Each structure stands twice: as C-alpha cells, then as structure tokens.
Amino acid sequence: MKYNLPVCHHCGEKNSVRKHGIARTGVQRFYCMACKRSFQDKYIYHSCEDKIIKKVKSEIDNGISYVDISRKFGIELRLVHRYISRLTKEGSI
C-alpha cells in the first residue's frame, strides 16, 4: 500500500519527509530531513496543532476572553496563558 507523505509542518518541504515511527497514541510520526524536525500528520491533543498560536492571537484581537478561547479550542487555560506570554515576548501582541 502506497502512503502519501505529508508536507513538513515546520519548513513546508515535501520531498524530504519520511516515516519516523509511531507515537504512543498510535499515530504515525514523520521526520523532515531538510529541517531535521519530527511531527505528526494529525494530533489527538489540540494544543499540539501547528497553527493554534495564530488562532489564539486572532481570537484575542477579536476581544474574546481567555476562558472562552480555551473552551472553543479545547485546550487548558494555562496553555492559553502560555501562548499569550509567548506572543508578548515576540512582540506580536
């Protein structure tokens, strides 16, 4: 059975991605030989998704509270606070 390899979540490279074992949750892991990072195609935990920080930032820009953001995305409130502090260190907020 031929498996279509995903695009790297970190650098966007497609030709340098290979399989890299199975996670504890049973999901296939992948490794990008271009940027030397591993990732999963799909995550069970929403806080591990690639674009979650951008989603949190857009919700904060819309004036949504931290509690409502954690409920909407299904992540813990402490992770919302962690993402906010990361965004303020970067100067995005």
How is the chain split among helix, strand and coil, in percent rounded to 5? Answer: 40, 15, 45
- Per-domain residue ranges of the chain: 1-44, 46-90
Note the pLDDT of residue 18.
95
- List the chain residues with pLDDT less than 70: 1-3, 43-50
- pTM for this entry: 0.52
Note the pLDDT of residue 46.
57
